[in-house]
């Protein structure tokens, strides 16, 4: 179900969005994903895929979100093209919180031409934009409204939209405000969604493959989970945009169209699952517990 409305009308309409029809086929969210037709999927552009290879040849793929963090994402793409992360490391693994990577020395020279960022880059203005939004018809404790735009979970108020800190979200490390980070220091959420960080840090994407290669790393014993000098900082062998890789090595992924009937069924079942295992439907779901399905392209 998709709406293309001015934001004021949209916010008024979301309060009255009904739960989807109860007579839809009873199945599981995973079954909906598996049975979704080709028309329910959209290709992710190669220039929005960041491929990170860490110690042992393990691969992590990040989908970038230029529509929601344009300056930071442009910097990340420039850093990848400069091979800036090659030889850096994963420096922090804090249990139930984040894995963080970048230059541990904080002295590696940056490539020229990076954009200047600010705290205003944590959200995008929607006051005068018309967005195709699939609403989440349940209350969000951290935002006036929540929904899905272009395959991304989105939180909103009357004037701005932002990507929430869900499991697997990728954000930009920074120092004390007003510093907003360049995009050189990145982290991903590996625990319960720390939504209190929303609008305080730039969220630039999400992990779509290889999350276990990060979440299973040994926890750091230093303050905030940073590795101490006696602990092993996991080397980063390379970080490349998929668009720069040879075609034979290039990953291809698709994201489910949030305006498709398949996503409507998926969202309904995430909130109201009743099958052989579930006796009591929850009757609701938060934005981070309804991750938009992503799959390797067939």
What's the average model confidence in pLDDT over 159-172? 97
In this predicted structure, the answer to whether residue 197 has a pLDDT above a threshold of 60 is: yes
CATH number of 3-296: 2.40.100.10
What's the average model confidence in pLDDT over 140-167? 96
Q: How far apart are CA 263 and CA 271, in angstroms?
A: 12
Which has the minimum average pLDDT: 142-146, 156-160, 166-170, 224-228?
156-160
pLDDT digits (tens, 9 = 90+) for 13-32: 444 343 444 444 648 999 99
Cis peptide before 178 (omega within 30 of 0): yes
DSSP letter at 144 equals S
Detail the DSSP E strand segments found in 136-226.
145-149, 152-156, 160-162, 169-172, 186-189, 203-209
* pLDDT band per the 50, 70, 90 thresholds, residue 11: very low
Q: What is the pLDDT of residue 158?
A: 85
Which has the minimum average pLDDT: 3-7, 68-72, 129-133?
3-7
In this predicted structure, the answer to whether residue 7 has a pLDDT above a threshold of 50 is: no
* pLDDT band per the 50, 70, 90 thresholds, residue 121: very high
Percent of the chain with pLDDT over 70: 91
Average pLDDT score over the chain: 92
What's the average model confidence in pLDDT over 170-178? 96
Cβ-based neighbour number of residue 186 at 10 Å = 25
pLDDT digits (tens, 9 = 90+) for 46-91: 999 999 999 999 999 999 999 999 999 999 999 999 999 999 999 9
Order of strands, edge to edge, in the sheet holding 131-135?
Answer: 3-5, 131-135, 145-149, 152-156, 160-162, 124-125
Q: 3-class SS at 240?
A: strand
Q: What is the pLDDT of residue 16?
A: 39
> Could you tell me which residues come within 8 angstroms of residue 221 by beta carbon, excluding any fewer than 6 positions away?
227, 228, 231
pLDDT digits (tens, 9 = 90+) for 183-193: 999 999 999 99
């Amino acid at each position: 179900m998709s709406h293309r409305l001015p934001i004021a009308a949209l916010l008024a309409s979301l309060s009255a969005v009904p739960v989807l029809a109860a007579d839809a086929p009873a199945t599981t969210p995973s079954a909906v994903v598996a049975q979704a037709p080709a028309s329910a999927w959209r290709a992710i552009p190669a220039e929005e895929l960041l491929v990170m290879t860490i110690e042992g040849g393990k691969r992590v793929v990040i989908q970038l979100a230029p529509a929601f963090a344009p300056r930071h994402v442009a910097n990340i793409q420039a850093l990848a093209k400069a091979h800036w992360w090659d030889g850096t490391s994963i420096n922090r693994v804090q249990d139930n919180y984040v894995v963080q990577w970048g230059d541990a020395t904080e002295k590696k020279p940056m490539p020229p031409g990076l954009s200047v960022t600010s705290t205003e880059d944590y959200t995008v203005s929607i006051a005068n934009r018309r967005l195709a939004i699939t609403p989440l018809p349940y209350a969000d404790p951290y935002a006036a409204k929540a929904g899905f735009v272009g395959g991304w979970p989105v939180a909103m108020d009357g004037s701005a939209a932002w990507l929430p800190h869900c499991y697997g979200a990728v954000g930009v490390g920074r120092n004390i405000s007003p510093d907003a980070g360049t995009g050189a220091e990145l982290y991903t959420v590996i625990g319960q969604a720390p939504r209190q960080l929303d609008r305080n840090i730039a969220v630039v994407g999400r992990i779509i493959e290889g999350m276990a290669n990060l979440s299973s790393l040994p926890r750091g014993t230093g303050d905030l989970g940073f590795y101490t000098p006696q602990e092993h900082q996991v080397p980063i062998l390379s970080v490349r945009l998929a668009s720069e890789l040879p075609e034979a090595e290039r990953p291809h992924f698709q994201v489910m169209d949030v305006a498709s009937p398949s996503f409507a069924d998926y969202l309904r079942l995430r909130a109201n699952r009743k099958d052989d295992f579930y006796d009591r439907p929850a009757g609701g779901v938060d934005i981070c517990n309804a991750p938009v399905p992503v799959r390797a392209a067939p």
